[in-house]
Amino acid sequence: MRKIFAGLLVVAVIGCAVYGLIPRVRLEQENNNVSIVADFREISTLAKNSGITVDEAIAILMRNGITGLMVSELTGDNVYRGIGQAEMRTMKDPERGTEGTIISITPYSEHKDLLNKWLRMRFALSEDKTGPVFLTIPLNMLRNSGMIPDIDGLEAAKRAGLHVFYRPAPSPGHLSDRAALLLREVHAAYPVSVFTPAGEFVSGYPDVSKLAGVSRELGIPVAMVEFSRQVGEPQLNAQVSPLLIPLHSVTNEEMTSRRISRKALRERMLRAALERSVRLLLLRTAPPNTSDFKFYDFAEEVRLLAEELKAHGFVLSWPEPVFAHRNLHTNMFASWAMSAVLAFCAWRFLVRMGMKSGVRTEILFAAGSIVLAVCALKVSVIARFAGAFTAPLIAVEASLLAMDTGRVRRVIPAFLFAVLGGLALASFFSVDRYMLRLSTFSGVRLTLVLPPVLVLIHDLKRRIHPESLIEFLNRPPLWGELVMIGVILAGVVVMIIRSGNTAVISSFESGLRDRLEQLLIARPRTKEVFMGYPALVLLCWLVGRGMMANYREILRVCVAMGFSSVINSFCHFHTPLWVILLREFNGLWTGLIVGVILVALVKFVLLPFLRLIRPVIS
């Protein structure tokens, strides 16, 4: 009867989780428009160096696949260096005797009246007057401040019929509302389809409500720049949500410091679209000091990236904010699926730790899952805590399930259980604020730390490790055990440090990841391929031969770390589900192959070597 009940429970959880995921799957299937965007000023420089006009260069790039143009508001530094249709210089006020800055529109400009209006609007001066603008601000304090929109880029985009990705520059502190006012004016005259502020701070921070208000009023989406550290960006994104379109870009500084090749740059763009649902790809040219990079090289890169995107099923068209006209809400089915998994995993762990279980206990946990589902659906704090503990408990149960009998084939039901738990978790959190990364899942760090700790406590309590915790503490530690503890702690620390998208990895690992992505489409996670599954295979081999009983615990902890990584993949709610499932399947079979190789090395290399040196060291 218990087996029948467990089977019915699994079927019910699968059904509820799948039902809860249907809206997300539909959205992922429909959200396939991707746009390649280029920087107008970079194109302008390359076109000039290649002896063609900007319009000719843009026409070539459009044929190759770009659908948008990034146009930035010119800063004081841009204008001072002669970029755009304005001039500025230092000048003393003859009446006051103070030093300031004079800004004027170049006399040959075809848009002199409009630019003069925008310039005066930018600095809250009378728009009825004409002529130069004198500011009582030193020129060096205006270098990073916005002056006027880059009308050359706006006109080029308008002539070509391209969408404009506009970047308002920061305002001087006392004029924080000017960027929003000017954005409204630019949008009225030119095809601004999306914007995001430039600079280290969002203009007006900490009050970003004016820019957010223009976005909501005019329906201009904000481009969410991936991994941005701009101060004020989270507040702006939160206020304009759901008018958000994710954007991926790599700066010239990053390309230079990390030595990112042009091929690797294209692969990063493709992965951003494929694995993280990014729909705006800002493809930059080579850094300015790269003298051998020509316009036609860049045009070829655009063509190659466009072909790669189309080969993966994307449509080269301007994207829309996916949640602007649809909202994904957690329903009762998804809430119960997660709550049932949490209750089941908690019950199983307590039983493993020695709790007596009967029909009453099982009914109590089943009823608790229903109560928790209702509470999680109504109270956000309870939902966050439930999710934070569900993820690590799934990893614990999957790990112990895989290691129960010491046979490798147990990895299959353990893997399927981890996938089921991951889908239940994803069904609950597949809503706009998590899929857009406006809210952070609370269980990521906990999933990295808690499973190894709980597995270790379980093993000491159940005497899977030859000694109990009291016996272990009452005797002097062995050198091997100290090394084992050090390796475990180091592994946990490394996992925590490396978690997240901005973690620093070695060039060797980066190259290995790229090769795996090329071969397998969805790259398996390193912790699974080179830690979790190989440790499980080696552990089963050692258990079957009764070897190294005192030192198996490190392998058991590594298995827990591997399953923690499996669950964390499902917590990347912005990643398409099919990519997650393919990644985990690839991680399973490649990890088992690595495990077999590891066992072969231990059997045919390490053990013979130890037998050889034992007489020497004894």
Q: Is the predicted pLDDT of residue 512 greater than 50, yes or no?
A: yes
Amino acid symbol at 513: R
Question: How does the average pLDDT of the chain come out, rounded?
Answer: 87
236 within some domain: yes
* Residue 162 or residue 253, greater confidence: 162
Where is mean pLDDT largest: 262-266, 483-487, 568-572?
568-572
Evaluate whether 155 touches 119 at the Cβ level (below 8 Å). no
Q: Is the predicted pLDDT of residue 565 greater than 60, yes or no?
A: yes
pLDDT at 553: 84
pLDDT at 613: 76
Q: Is the predicted pLDDT of residue 261 greater than 50, yes or no?
A: yes
Q: Report the CATH number that the domain containing residue 232 is assigned in CATH.
A: 3.20.20
Q: Are residues 114 and 190 in the same domain?
A: yes
pLDDT at 137: 82
Q: Are residues 107 and 167 in the same domain?
A: yes
| Run of H or E including 209 | helix 209-218
Other Cβ atoms within 10 Å of 39 Cβ, number: 20
**Last residue within a domain, chosen from 260, 288, 316:** 288
Whole-number Å distance between alpha carbons of 35 and 313: 13
Whole-number Å distance between alpha carbons of 226 and 596: 38
55 within some domain: no
Which pLDDT band holds residue 149 (cuts at 50, 70, 90)? very high
Whole-number Å distance between alpha carbons of 232 and 205: 6
Q: Are residues 344 and 476 in the same domain?
A: yes
Whole-number Å distance between alpha carbons of 304 and 319: 20
Q: Are residues 260 and 355 in the same domain?
A: no
Q: Is the predicted pLDDT of residue 499 greater than 60, yes or no?
A: no
φ, ψ for residue 54, nearest 5 deg? -60, -40
pLDDT at 480: 56
| Run of H or E including 170 | none
**CA dist list (Å): 590 to 422, 491, 593:** 20, 21, 5
311 within some domain: no
pLDDT at 372: 93
pLDDT at 502: 45
**Last residue within a domain, chosen from 288, 316, 350:** 288
φ, ψ for residue 124, nearest 5 deg? 55, 45
Q: Are residues 376 and 270 in the same domain?
A: no
Whole-number Å distance between alpha carbons of 550 and 555: 11
Q: Is the predicted pLDDT of residue 226 greater than 60, yes or no?
A: yes
Give the residue-averaged pLDDT of 180-203: 92
pLDDT at 501: 47
Q: Are residues 337 and 274 in the same domain?
A: no
Distance of CA 376 to the CA centre of its chain: 26
Nearest to 75 by CA among 137, 149, 151, 181: 149
Task: Give tens-digit pLDDT for 287-343.
Answer: 766 667 889 999 999 999 999 999 999 999 999 998 888 778 889 999 999 999 999
314 within some domain: no
* Residue 486 or residue 422, greater confidence: 422
Which pLDDT band holds residue 369 (cuts at 50, 70, 90)? very high
Which pLDDT band holds residue 493 (cuts at 50, 70, 90)? low
Q: Is the predicted pLDDT of residue 109 greater than 70, yes or no?
A: yes
Give the residue-averaged pLDDT of 27-37: 94
pLDDT at 496: 55
Evaluate whether 448 touches 499 at the Cβ level (below 8 Å). yes
For residue 529, what is the DSSP state? Answer: I
Q: Are residues 38 and 7 in the same domain?
A: no
pLDDT at 549: 76
Show the tokens assigned to 611. 């037998």
Give the residue-averaged pLDDT of 265-277: 91
Show the tokens assigned to 341. 């998994």
Which pLDDT band holds residue 616 (cuts at 50, 70, 90)? low
| Residue range(s) defining the domain that contains residue 171 | 33-50+66-288
pLDDT at 509: 58
Q: Are residues 613 and 545 in the same domain?
A: yes
pLDDT at 258: 77
300 within some domain: no
pLDDT at 134: 84
Show the tokens assigned to 170. 């920061």
Q: Is the predicted pLDDT of residue 345 greater than 90, yes or no?
A: yes
Which pLDDT band holds residue 376 (cuts at 50, 70, 90)? very high
Evaluate whether 41 touches 74 at the Cβ level (below 8 Å). no
Q: Are residues 7 and 45 in the same domain?
A: no
Residue 92: strand pairing partners: 99
Q: Are residues 14 and 138 in the same domain?
A: no
Alpha helices in 439-573 (DSSP H): 444-461, 469-474, 479-498, 507-520, 526-527, 533-545, 553-570
pLDDT at 315: 96
Q: Are residues 280 and 374 in the same domain?
A: no
Show the tokens assigned to 229. 């550290």
pLDDT at 485: 63
pLDDT at 247: 96
Which pLDDT band holds residue 579 (cuts at 50, 70, 90)? very high
pLDDT at 98: 72
Give the residue-averaged pLDDT of 460-469: 75
Distance of CA 193 to the CA centre of its chain: 24
Q: Count CA within 13 A, CB hemisphere, residue 420.
A: 24
Show the tokens assigned to 58. 């843009």
pLDDT at 332: 93
Whole-number Å distance between alpha carbons of 79 and 83: 5
Which pLDDT band holds residue 164 (cuts at 50, 70, 90)? very high
How are beta strands 146-149 and 66-75 bridged, if at all?
antiparallel
Range with the lowest mean pLDDT among 357-361, 410-414, 505-509, 523-527? 505-509
Whole-number Å distance between alpha carbons of 153 and 159: 10
Whole-number Å distance between alpha carbons of 263 and 489: 37
Nearest to 40 by CA among 74, 5, 7: 74
Where is mean pLDDT largest: 99-108, 111-120, 127-136, 418-427?
418-427
Which pLDDT band holds residue 2 (cuts at 50, 70, 90)? low
Instruction: Give me the number of domains the chain comprises.
Output: 2
Sequence-ordered list of residues with C-beta below 8 angstroms from that of 369, at least 6 positions apart, any chain: 336, 339, 340, 342, 343, 344
Evaluate whether 395 touches 341 at the Cβ level (below 8 Å). no
Output the 3-class SS for 245-279.
Answer: EEEEECCHHHHHHCCCCHHHHHHHHHHHHHHHCCC
**Last residue within a domain, chosen from 288, 309, 340:** 288
Give the residue-averaged pLDDT of 362-382: 90
* Residue 482 or residue 184, greater confidence: 184
Residue 62 in 3-state DSSP? helix
Residue 133: strand pairing partners: 103
Distance of CA 241 to the CA centre of its chain: 18
Q: Are residues 450 and 542 in the same domain?
A: yes
CA angle 312, 315, 319 (to 5 degrees): 125
Evaluate whether 102 touches 134 at the Cβ level (below 8 Å). yes
Nearest to 137 by CA among 124, 126, 155: 124
pLDDT at 97: 67
Give the residue-averaged pLDDT of 380-386: 93
Whole-number Å distance between alpha carbons of 562 and 560: 5
CA angle 340, 464, 485 (to 5 degrees): 95
DSSP annotation string for 342-408? HHHHHHHHHHHTT----HHHHHHHHHHHHHHHHHHHH-HHHHHHHHHHHHHHHHHHHHHHHHSSS-G
284 within some domain: yes
44 within some domain: yes
pLDDT at 527: 87
Cα-trace Rg, the chain: 29
Whole-number Å distance between alpha carbons of 194 and 202: 15
9 within some domain: yes
Taking the alpha carbons at both ends of the chain, their separation in whole angstroms is 57
